[in-house]
Amino acid sequence: SQQGEEDPQALSIQEGENATMNCSYKTSINNLQWYRQNSGRGLVHLILIRSNEREKHSGRLRVTLDTSKKSSSLLITASRAADTASYFCATVISSGSARQLTFGSGTQLTVLP
Amino acid sequence: DAGVIQSPRHEVTEMGQEVTLRCKPISGHNSLFWYRQTMMRGLELLIYFNNNVPIDDSGMPEDRFSAKMPNASFSTLKIQPSEPRDSAVYFCASSRPVAYNEQFFGPGTRLTVL
């Protein structure tokens, strides 16, 4: 089963509104990353939050991490039509030098102009 | 930097044929990852290399799949013989020689097996 599971599976909002996506995972992690995928394209890294961090900002993005609940959230403020994409959380487990990411199933965000 | 380069971008082949997908990672990156993405199964890690050495191939679905990395700037994923259920988008990604780092994805190869 997927290490990370996003919620909701699909989200539709108006331009200018905020979008919040959630991710839950099962095992202890070293860090959690969020990626964006535009239709027909590869994934693009957005932000990385380490297990000892609780909140991180990057432009209009805000990520929180609650390791006690094994969950993370991605907030996109003042959304734009160009933010329409699929958003994936990915976890890196705490295991030696393992570098592989385990991706969730993604949230499809649609921002209506 | 050109980013991760994959070829071909699209491949249509008939069942039973051999398919070879190619990837050139970003220069200086020492980890390379092959993923498969389908609607049903999402994004799955197939195999990854560190310093050209395969580290974990547990995601390779069957013996029909094989991957090589003969040098730091080139990797191939081969399917022989191909089957219709192999139809998917295959992504290659690379990352810098720092553990737990972000990955940079290529544009993907859309494979259709008829």
pLDDT in tens, chain A (113 residues): 346 678 899 999 999 999 999 999 998 888 999 999 999 899 999 999 999 999 999 999 999 999 999 999 999 999 999 999 999 999 987 665 556 788 888 999 999 99
Q: Tell how strand A10-14 and strand A107-112 pair up.
A: parallel
CA distance B75 to B48: 10
**Chain segment B85-106, per-residue pLDDT in tens:** 999 999 999 998 765 678 999 9
A81 three-state secondary structure:
helix
Answer yes or no: do A103 and B103 touch at CB < 8 A: no
Strands B109-113 and B31-38 come out as unpaired
Residue with structure tokens 């970003």? Answer: B26
- B1 CB near a chain A CB, below 8 Å? no
Nearest to A86 by CA among A31, A19, A2: A19
Residues of A with CB under 8 A from a CB of B: 2, 30-31, 33, 35, 41-45, 48, 88, 92, 97-106
